[in-house]
Amino acid sequence: MTKPPFRKILVANRGEIALRVFRTCAERGIATVAVYSDADRDALHVAYADEAVAIGGQSAAESYLRSEKIVAAAKATGAEAIHPGYGFLSERAFFVEACADAGVTFIGPPARAMEVMGDKVRAREAMSAAGVPVVPGVNDLMSADDVVAAARSIGLPVMLKASAGGGGKGMRIVEHEADLLRAYEGASREALASFGDGRMLMERAILRARHVEIQLMADNHGGVVFLNERDCSVQRRHQKVIEEAPCPSPQMSPAIRAAMGDVAVRAARAVGYSGAGTVEFLFEEGASGPRFYFLEMNTRLQVEHPVTEATCGRDLVWDQIRVAAGEPLGFTQDDVRLHGHAIECRLYAEDPVRFLPSPGTVRMVRWPVGADIRVDTAVASGSVVSSFYDPMIAKLTVWGADRRSAIRKMREALRSTVLLGISTNIPFHLRVLEDPDFVAGRFSTRFIEEHPALLSQDALAEADSRAIAAAAAVAAAAAVGACEQGAPGPQISAWRRASGWRRD
């Protein structure tokens, strides 16, 4: 075994993404350090790491967002590098600089690339200058007069977005001029509260489009490749719920995929990017063929990266680590292949109708098993889903030779999943996977709002009863222990070989 690029890595995150990074480190002989808040003292990511450092507090603001505590933990434990996961400090340029000042390697892109791509206005300007297609719009709206004038110049409907944020915060679609000012004021307030910046931008709203993103990996030697695309169009409140690779649109062809990939590579080169990143696009289908527009670039690993790993056969975390250590990518665009189809469902502890968080203690867990099933989670029987953090409790990913078989496998995987003690969105996922339009690949980012039957109480109750029946069968068979098999970490071994991630 060759010497690993780092001896010890600290993960500045929690939950399933911390476990995801720890697993790759363990497989490569790299020691790991966890950090944890008071609320996470008994969390699985703490138990899984080689070392764990308490950083105090209950909320993220008191713990996982305190860069000085995390850097201090790295120095105290001798960690040579910090992996930020996603969320929290993963896209904060000041954290990159704090790591550099402390002599600790940040596993991610340079601060300058974050600064440019983290501000939607600067990103739009940089992409326009690089010849990347952007949605027509107006930047930096600061007053009601600006908003009305911009809407009249662009033409309704329009999308209002926070200039400095993401994750669906500070975002509104406006279809009628009478609603403009109320939408602007609400979005600006939300942006100011979430990001400390109330600036807004306005774009033409493309209401019937897909959300398609290109996964990138770049090194510090000029190498940039794209690892095909993901479709993330099934969203609620502008947040992704189901992702898949490749995009099922009939207008997604090898030529279009290559064109989008070339644009994404150009975007990365324009800001001197390195590491894992994702360029997100609006993908508009039309009679004369598709058009796509730059939305934003996420300067981190994405929640939905498992579907890319499943269809490309690469361990993206390992690639991130190697690149951060100064190694070249070691593969070219010609080496990237597309194998089969993968679907990921984000499992949340939430009301499946109102999408409100449902924190509490998980009384019983049963995860599905199978050669083409992957579970990324940090939840086992007895785990507490805290009200202090995002309610996502797991990511369930399946692979199939084609989309039809992937959908079938996902249905069975969801029906085999048992999570008792909390409400989850599993019934909602089952409804989506049985919807004729979803099965046929006919959907856009408005899929949920255009299919209100998905939120039918009766239908969701029927789907939920399947999980309860499965739990009863498990309990009757006294197989609780077997149901928790693999609970301390993501179930990834079925897709891994020594040379990288491949399906066995």
Q: Residues 176-235: pLDDT tens digits? A: 999 999 999 999 999 888 788 888 999 999 888 999 999 999 999 999 999 999 999 999
Q: Check residue 207 and give its pLDDT.
A: 83
Q: Check residue 455 and give its pLDDT.
A: 86
More confident residue, 8 or 168: 8
The amino acid present at 52, given as its one-letter code, is A
Q: Check residue 140 and give its pLDDT.
A: 83
Q: At what angle do helices 93-101 and 67-77 cross, to 10 degrees?
A: 30
pLDDT in tens, 130-140: 889 999 899 88
Q: What is the CATH number of the domain that holds 47?
A: 3.40.50.20
Classify 198 as helix, strand or coil.
coil
Do the domain assignments include residue 39?
yes
Are 97 and 167 in a shared domain?
A: no
Q: Check residue 119 and give its pLDDT.
A: 84
Q: Average pLDDT over the chain, rounded to whole? A: 90
Q: Check residue 475 and give its pLDDT.
A: 52
- In this structure, what is the dihedral angle of CA atoms 8, 395, 320, 129, given to the nearest 10 degrees? -140
Do the domain assignments include residue 287?
no
Do the domain assignments include residue 263?
no
Number of independent structural domains in the chain: 2
Residue 174 host element (H or E): strand 172-174
186: domain range?
Answer: 136-204
Q: Check residue 485 and give its pLDDT.
A: 41
Are 36 and 95 in a shared domain?
A: yes
Do the domain assignments include residue 176?
yes
Are 13 and 103 in a shared domain?
A: yes
Whole-prediction pTM: 0.88
Are 100 and 156 in a shared domain?
A: no
- Cα separation, 79 vs 106, whole angstroms: 11
Q: Where are the beta strands (DSSP E) in 221-371?
A: 224-236, 239-245, 275-284, 291-298, 341-348, 360-361, 364-366
Classify 229 as helix, strand or coil.
strand
- Cα separation, 222 vs 326, whole angstroms: 12
End-to-end alpha carbon distance in the chain: 21
- Cα separation, 408 vs 501, whole angstroms: 23
User: Among 28, 300, 314, 322, which one carries the catalytic annotation?
Assistant: 300
> In the annotation, is 300 catalytic?
yes
- Cα separation, 328 vs 89, whole angstroms: 25
pLDDT in tens, 306-343: 999 999 999 999 999 999 999 999 999 999 999 999 99
**Boundary-marking domain end, from 186, 204, 222:** 204
- In this structure, what is the dihedral angle of CA atoms 445, 451, 455, 459, given to the nearest 10 degrees? -130
**Boundary-marking domain end, from 204, 233, 259:** 204
